[in-house]
Structure 1
Amino acid sequence: MKRINMYKKMFAVEKEIDLKKLKTSYRNLVKEWHPDKFQEGDEKREEAEEKSREIIDGYHFLVSIAPETKAANLEEYVLTTSQSGIADYHHKGLLLEISFLDGTTYEYFGVPKTVYTKMINSDKLFRFAKRNIFNSYLYRKSKKNIEA
């Protein structure tokens, strides 16, 4: 959640992510922080390179959790979370990463340790996740894919 709030603040996004406004904000930030604007060897150039990478990462992250993106990929998500079993899972902080048997991986944000503990102690892992995680937490499709 900290990462989401940091990126929303960077792009001046209020509550809902509007892709059109996000793209405009992204372009303005890239123009402002493009490394080619600074001289070679300049201390500001290194800072600009780092800031530029952060802007690009933030943009792609926010696009992946935007309501429009989620709506476009909803059919695939529902199919995966209803028919494909869980192959692997990892929990770190408030991020739960679940890899499915069909090879896709989703990240769920804001999942507390208590819910994760209940999930791993459940005798029916997929059923627990389906009822308590898949539709309860903010998610995005991860770039990681596992071999089917």
Structure 2
Amino acid sequence: MKRINEYKKLFNVEKEIDLKELKTSYRNLVKEWHPDKFQETDELHAEAEMRSKQIIDGYHFLVSIAPATKAANLEEYNITLATAAIADLQHKGNVLEVTFNNGSTYEYFGVNKALFTKLLQADRQFRFAKRNIFTSFLYRKSKKDMEMQPA
């Protein structure tokens, strides 16, 4: 959740993410922090490169959790939940990464260690996850999953 709040603050997003406003803010930030504008010193250039990468990562992240993006991908998500089983689980911080046996991977934000432990100990992990995680937490299709898909 910290990452989400940092990116929302960076792009000046108050509540719900509007893709059109986000795109405008993204373009303005990229123009402001483009490394080519900071050629005076290596220090400034390095900072601009770092900020530029952060802006690009933040933009793609916020687009992936935007309500419009989730709505566009809802059918695919529901098909995955209806037809696929859990192939792998990874938990880091408060992010649960679930890889399904159909190859898709989703990240669920705000899943604490206690809930993850309950998931691991559940007799039926998929049923537990469907009831307690898949419909309750903010999610996005994993960047790792998107990189694996053909263009």
Q: Which residue is equivalent to 1:10?
A: 10
Is the contact made by 1:104 and 1:144 (CA closer than 8 Å) also made in structure 2? Answer: no
Q: Which residue is equivalent to 1:80?
A: 80
Q: Which residue is equivalent to 1:19?
A: 19
Q: Which residue is equivalent to 1:57?
A: 57
More helix by share: 2
- Where does the alignment leave 5 or more consecutive residues of structure 2 unmatched? none
Question: Hey, which bits of structure 1, 4+ residues long, moved more than 6 A?
Answer: none
Q: What is the alpha-carbon distance in structure 2 between the residues aligned to residue 5 and residue 81 of structure 1?
A: 28
RMSD of aligned alpha carbons: 1.3
Write the letter of the residue equivalent to 1:130: K
Q: Which residue is equivalent to 1:47?
A: 47
Secondary structure of residue in 2 paired with 1:144: helix
User: What's the TM-score, normalizing by structure 1?
Assistant: 0.96
Q: Which residue is equivalent to 1:71?
A: 71
Is the contact made by 1:82 and 1:130 (CA closer than 8 Å) also made in structure 2? Answer: no
Cα deviations by residue, 1:9-43 (Å, 9 ceiling, x for unpaired): 00000010000000000000000000011226432
Secondary structure of residue in 1 paired with 2:134: coil
User: What's the TM-score, normalizing by structure 2?
Assistant: 0.94
Q: Which residue is equivalent to 2:104?
A: 104
Is the contact made by 1:35 and 1:45 (CA closer than 8 Å) also made in structure 2? Answer: yes
Q: How many residues are paired up?
A: 147
Q: What is the alpha-carbon distance in structure 1 between the residues aligned to residue 39 and residue 8 of structure 2?
A: 30
- Where does the alignment leave 5 or more consecutive residues of structure 1 unmatched? none
Q: What is the alpha-carbon distance in structure 1 between the residues aligned to residue 75 and residue 106 of structure 2?
A: 14
Q: Percent identity?
A: 70
Write the letter of the residue equivalent to 2:135: N
